[in-house]
Homo-oligomer: A and B are copies of this chain.
Amino acid sequence: MEKDIRFRLAEEKDLDKIVEMLADDVLGSRRERYEQPLPVSYLKAFRAITSDANNELVVAYQGDEIIGVQQITFTPYLTHQGGWRATIEGVRTASSSRSKGVGTELIKWAIKRAEKLGCHLVQLTTDKERPDALRFYEKLGFKATHEGLKLKL
């Protein structure tokens, strides 16, 4: 029987595996650098995320194996009569665990976490080069009501 998928906050010892997952992806392979030693920029970002009360880096695992990751950012906004939103970013599943529902479990976990913290909205953007991802999120109830714009500096 397959072991249950469980979730916890990421620890520094997970960073190598997390970066491996970020890089092992059509778009990620173009922009990440998974090498030994890891570029120090990843460790700096990791520490900034995990030391911020409004950011949670969450890993999914089975037994001893990390099989997925996502970052959830909680942000207070004035719009919609004031309140908190959860933004999901950097969702990845280990290649050995794809098509087994890990992504679905990650997002469902994030939604529950957002509900627990009193958020009124969960949001994310997905690259238009990932049509499968769009369908995946729509199946989970998300509506593509917005354009997501980026400006590189």
Q: Which residues of A contact B (CB under 8 A)?
A: 18-19, 22, 28, 31-33, 39, 41-46, 48-49, 52, 54-55, 57, 71, 73, 75-84, 87, 89-90, 111, 114-115, 119-129, 134, 137-138, 140-153
- For A147, list chain B residues within 8 Å (CB): 125-126, 128, 134, 144, 146-148
- For A54, list chain B residues within 8 Å (CB): 52, 54
Bound CA span A39–B130, Å? 40
Q: How many copies does the complex hold?
A: 2
Contact B114 A153 (CB under 8 A): yes
- For A111, list chain B residues within 8 Å (CB): 151, 153
Contact B148 A123 (CB under 8 A): yes
- For A126, list chain B residues within 8 Å (CB): 146-147, 149
Q: With A77-B45, A151-B122 given, is the CB distance from A82 to B39 under 8 Å?
A: yes
